[in-house]
A and B are shown apart, each in its own frame.
Chain A
Amino acid sequence: MELRKNSGAIKWALILLCFVFLAVFLLLPLFYIVITALRDGISGYINAITDEYALKAVWLTVQATLWAVIINTIFGISAAWLLTKYSFRGKKILSTFIDLPVTVSPIIAGLIYVLTFGRQGVLYDYLDPLGIQIIFAVPGIVLATIFVTFPFISRELIPVLTAQGVDEEEAAALMGAGTFTIFRKVTLPHIKWALLYGVVLCTARAMGEFGAVSVLSGHLRGKTNTLPLYIELLYQGYDFTGAFASSSILVVMAVIVLILRLIIEKKGKKELDNKK
Chain B
Amino acid sequence: MKRKNIIPGYGLTFGITLTILSLIVVIPLCSLVVFTSRLSLPEFLYTVSRPRVLSGYFVSISTAFIASAVNAVMGFILAWVLVRYDFPGKRFLDGIIELPFALPTAVAGISLTHLTTTNGWVGKFFYDLFGIKIAYTRLGITIALIFIGIPFVVRSVQPVLEKIDIQYEEAAMILGADSRMIFRKVIFPEILPSLISGFTLAFARCIGEYGSVVFIAGNTPYETEIAPLLIMSELQEFDYTAATSIALVMLAIAFVILSVNAVLQSVVSRRISGLA
Contacts and interface: CB of A to CB of B under 8 A. Distances in A.
B111 A32 contact: yes
B263 interface: no
A30 B114 CA distance: 12
Interface in A61-110: 71, 74-75, 78-79, 81-82, 85-87, 94, 97-98, 100-101, 103-108, 110
A173 interface: yes
B147 A101 contact: no
B31 A4 contact: no
B168 to A, nearest CB: 11
Given A105-B228, A235-B215, A25 B27 contact: no
B102 A204 contact: yes
A38 interface: no
A240 B114 CA distance: 9
Contacts of A29: 108, 111-112, 115, 147
Nearest to B5: A86
A182 B13 CA distance: 13
B26 A115 contact: no
A8 B247 CA distance: 50
Contacts of A228: 104-107, 211
Contacts of B12: 78, 179
A78 B169 CA distance: 44
Given A7-B179, A29-B111, A121-B31, A22 B97 contact: yes
A208 B107 CA distance: 8
A177 to B, nearest CB: 8
A252 to B, nearest CB: 11
Nearest to B36: A115
Contact of A106 (B27, B110, B166, B211): B211
A143 B24 contact: yes
A170 B111 CA distance: 53
Interface residues of B, number: 87
A182 B6 CA distance: 12
Given A32-B115, A178-B8, A208-B107, A105 B207 contact: yes
B208 interface: yes
Interface string B170-184: 100100000100100
A75 B101 contact: no
Interface residues of A, number: 101
Contact of B210 (A147, A211, A244): A211
A115 B106 contact: no
A251 B107 contact: yes
Interface string B8-35: 1110111011001100111111111011
Nearest to A61: B104
A223 interface: no
A220 interface: no
A208 B179 contact: no
Given A170-B7, A254-B104, A211 B228 contact: yes
B240 A115 contact: yes
B111 A105 contact: no
Contacts of A130: none
A250 B244 contact: no
Interface in A204-232: 204-205, 207-211, 214-215, 227-229, 231-232
Contacts of B143: 25
A36 interface: yes
Contact of A214 (B81, B179, B232): B232
Interface of B: 2, 5-10, 12-14, 16-17, 20-21, 24-32, 34-35, 74, 77-78, 80-81, 84-85, 87, 89, 91, 93, 95-108, 110-112, 114-115, 121-122, 143, 146-147, 150, 166, 169-170, 173, 179, 182, 204, 207-211, 215, 228, 231-232, 235, 238, 240, 243-244, 247, 250-251, 254, 258
9 contacts: A85-B9, A87-B2, A108-B208, A114-B235, A116-B27, A170-B7, A211-B211, A235-B215, A258-B96
Minimum-distance CB pairs A-B, first 9: A208-B104, A105-B208, A210-B211, A211-B210, A179-B9, A254-B102, A29-B111, A116-B31, A78-B16
